[in-house]
A = this chain, B = another copy of it.
Amino acid sequence: MEVGICKQDMLQKKKNAVLVDGVILNGPIMDSKAGEKFVEEACKIIMEEVIQKANDVTEKVCEWRAPETLKKILDLEMRDTGESHQKLLQLCQDVIQYSVKTSHPRFFNQLYAGIDYYSLVARFITEALNPSVYTYEVSPVFLLVEETVIKKMIEFIGWEEGDGIFNPGGSVSNMYAMNLARYKFCPEIKEKGLSGLPRLVLFTSEECHYSMKKAASFLGIGTENVYFIKTDERGKMIPEELEKQVQRARKEGSAPFLVCATAGTTVLGAFDPLDEIADICEKHGLWLHVDASWGGSALISRKHCRLLHGIHRADSVAWNPHKMLLAGIQCCALLVKDNSGLLKKCYSAKAAYLFQQDKFYDVSYDTGDKSIQCSRRPDAFKFWLMWKALGTTGLEERVNRALALARYLVEEIKKREGFQLLLEPEYANVCFWYIPPSLRKMEDGPEFWQKLHEVAPIIKERMMKKGSMMLGYQPHRGKVNFFRQVVISPQVSREDMDFLLDEIELLAKDL
C-alpha cells in the first residue's frame, strides 16, 4: 500500500491531491451536474412516453417482438467503456417502446393494471431517497407511515388490534403466515427444525394460489402435506370437505396446524366462506390465514365487503393494495391479529449491528427484526400517499366501479353470440369462452372442446402481434382454455369493455 501525499501548497492551500493505491481521492468522481441533466432529460421521456400516453387508446398495449428479434434490436451487451448520454437516452426510449404498457386501458392480462398518479409520485420519492425500512434512525418517516397504514388496514379487517409487515408479494405474505402459524403451533421449531416431528399438515382449497405449494416446499413442510379441499362449482371451498380432511389428517397421526382460505381466487375470483371455515378452525384449534391478496381490496367498499364476511375471525390476512387499488408493484401487507409480539418473536434474530438496544430513542420503532428481509423497501408509503389523495371514498369508488364494469361485461357477454360465460362471477374476474363461427354448429363432445381449447391461444397471438389489447387465458381444472378478463383500472370505461368483445370477434372471425 503506497500512501503518497503530493503537497502542492503553493497552488492549492486546502485541497491537497491525495493519492492512495493510484487513486486520486480529492473531490467526488461523479459529474453531478451532468448526472442531474441526464435525469431531467430522461424524466421528460418518461413523462411523454409513459405517463402521458398511459390512457391513450390509440397507442399500442405492446409492440410485440419475439425474443431473438428483440435481442437484436436492443443493444443488451455491457461493455468495458460506458455509453454517451445520447445513446443512453435512446436506450431508454427503446426500453419503453418494447415494454408492455400495463397502464394501458386495454391491458387486462394480470391482476393489476392502470396507473395511479399519487402512488407513482410516492414511488419516485422513495427511489430518489433510497431508504431501507429496518430502523427508525434510517427510515423515520417510512416506519411511521407503515405503522399507520397497517393500523388502518387492520381496522378494515375488523380486528381491534394487530400487527403486520409489508413484504415483497402475496406469495411471500403467505409464507410469512404459514411460518407464523407453525411457530404458534410449536415455537421450538424455530430452533429445532422439523426433523423428528410428526408431519405438519395444512389445508387450502383446490383453487388457491400456487404460492401455497411453493411456501410448503420452501418451509420444509412439503407439498404433499398441503391437503387440497374440494370446491363447489363457483370455486369456493366446501366447509364439510374441510372438516373431513382435518379428521382424516388427525386419524393419520399427522399434525394439522393451518387452514389457508382464499378471498378472491386467482382464476375465478371466488371467495371462500370465511365464517364457516372459521368455525372449523376454532373447533380444531387451527390457525386461519386468509389469502386476500386479490380480494382484500373489496374491504374498502361498503357494498362489496360482504364478500369477505367473517374475515375478522382470521388470525392472519395477506392483502395486496398493488392489485385492485393500483398502489404499484409491489405493495403487499401481511396482517396479524396477534398483538403480543408474535411476529417479532417468530422472526427476530436480534442482530446487534442493526438493532442496538442502547440507542437514544425508543427502539420499539425499529421494526426490521419482524422481517425475513434485512433491507426492505418502504412499500406502505405509496399506498399511504394514494389514500391521502383519494380518501377512503375515492378508493371505494375504484372498487365499486371495477365491479360494476365487470357486471356490465357479463351482461354484454350474455347478449352476444359466440361468447359463453364460464360462470357468474362474484368479483372482477370474468371468465368466458369465445366460440368462433366455425365451431358454433358443432356438436358438444371431445372434438368440440379440443378445438375450442386451441382458439384462445390463437386469438392471444393475434392481439399481441397487433398490440390492440392483452387478455389472459388458461385451462383450468378440466375446463379447456378460456379467457379471464380482469377489470381494475379507473381509466377503463364501458367503451373498453365493448372494444374487448368487438376485438375478439374481429380477431377470430376466420376461425
A383 to chain B, nearest CB (A): 9
Give chain B residues whose Cβ lies under 8 Å from the Cβ of A373: 168-169, 171-172
**A18 and B35 alpha carbons, distance in the complex (Å):** 50
Count contacts on A: residues with CB < 8 A to the other chain. Answer: 190
Known A78-B392, A384-B78, A408-B20: A39·B120 in contact at CB below 8 Å: yes
Contacts of A358 in B (CB 8 A): 454, 457, 481
* Residues A28 and B492 in contact in the complex (CB < 8 Å), given A125-B95, A127-B328: yes
Q: Which of B115, B129, B353 contacts A474 (CB 8 A)?
A: B353
A162 contacts chain B at the CB level, 8 A cutoff:
no
User: Which residues of B lie under 8 Å from residue A464 when comparing CB positions?
Assistant: 137, 360
Task: Decide if A172 touches B407 in the complex (CB within 8 Å).
Answer: no
What is the bound-complex CA distance between A222 and B38, given in angstroms? 49
Residues of B within 8 A of A385 (CB): 88, 91-92
Asked if A362 lies at the interface with its beta carbon under 8 angstroms from chain B, I say yes
Chain B, residue nearest A94 (CB): B141
Closest Cβ of chain B to A36, distance in Å, is: 6
Rounded to whole angstroms, the CA-CA distance of A3 and B404 in the bound complex is 9
**Chain B, Cβ-Cβ closest to A407:** B20
Stoichiometry (number of copies): 2
A residues 7-58 with Cβ under 8 Å of B?
Answer: 15-16, 18, 20-23, 25-30, 32, 35-36, 38-40, 42-43, 46-47, 50-52, 54-55
Per the bound structure, the CA–CA distance linking A302 and B82 in Å amounts to 18
In the complex the two chains form, is B137's CB within 8 Å of A50's CB? Answer: no
Q: Confirm or deny: A376 has a beta carbon within 8 angstroms of a beta carbon on chain B.
A: yes
Which chain A residues in 468-511 approach chain B with CB under 8 Å? 470, 472-476, 481, 484, 490-495, 497
Q: Are B40 and A47 in contact (CB under 8 A)?
A: yes
A349 within 8 A of B: yes
CA distance A62 to B128 in the complex (A): 15
Residue-wise interface mask of A (112-148) relative to B, using a CB-CB cutoff of 8 A (1 in contact, 0 not): 1001011011011101111110001111111011001
Instruction: Give min CB distance, A30 to chain B, whole Å.
Output: 5
A442 at the interface (CB under 8 A from B): no
Residue A216 at the B interface, CB < 8 A?
Answer: yes
Contact B3 A407 (CB under 8 A): yes
Given contacts A91-B388, A141-B95, A375-B170, contact A405 B25 (CB under 8 A): yes
Give the contacting residue for A99; candidates B124, B131, B349; CB below 8 A. Answer: B131
Write the chain B residue with the least CB distance to A267. B353
Q: Say if the beta carbon of A448 comes within 8 Å of chain B.
A: no
CB of A42 within 8 A of CB of B124, answer yes
**Beyond A78-B392, A222-B190, is A124–B121 a contact (Cβ under 8 Å)?**
no
Q: Does A372 contact B (CB under 8 A)?
A: yes
A355 to chain B, nearest CB (A): 9
B46, B67, B384, B481: the one contacting A125 at CB < 8 Å is B46
Contacts of A216 in B (CB 8 A): 193
Residues 389-407 (chain A) with a chain B CB within 8 angstroms: 389-394, 397-398, 400-401, 403-405, 407
* Chain B residue contacts of A36, Cβ below 8 A: 47, 51-52, 117
Shortest Cβ distance from A280 into chain B, in angstroms? 23
Q: Is A6 interfacial (CB 8 A cutoff)?
A: no
Chain B nearest CB, measured from A2 CB (Å): 10
Q: If A99-B142, A330-B377, A385-B91 touch, does A1 touch B407 (CB 8 Å cutoff)?
A: yes
**Chain B residues, CB < 8 A from A62:** 137, 140
Contacts of A306 in B (CB 8 A): none
Query: Are A195 and B193 closer than 8 Å at their CB atoms?
Result: no
Q: A100 at the A/B interface (Cβ < 8 Å)?
A: yes
Residues of chain B contacted by A476 (CB below 8 angstroms):
352-353
Q: Which residue of B lies closest to A79 (CB)?
A: B391
Verify if A245 is at the interface (C-beta below 8 Å from B): no
Check A339 for interface membership: any CB of B closer than 8 A: no
Tell me the nearest residue of chain B to A349, going by C-beta.
Answer: B210
Which 5 pairs across A and B sit closest by C-beta, in order of nearness? A193-B222, A220-B220, A35-B117, A23-B404, A82-B391
Q: A30-B117, A66-B361 are in contact. List 12 more A-B contacts (CB 8 A).
A: A21-B407, A28-B492, A43-B43, A62-B137, A88-B388, A88-B389, A95-B141, A109-B138, A123-B127, A193-B222, A211-B374, A356-B475
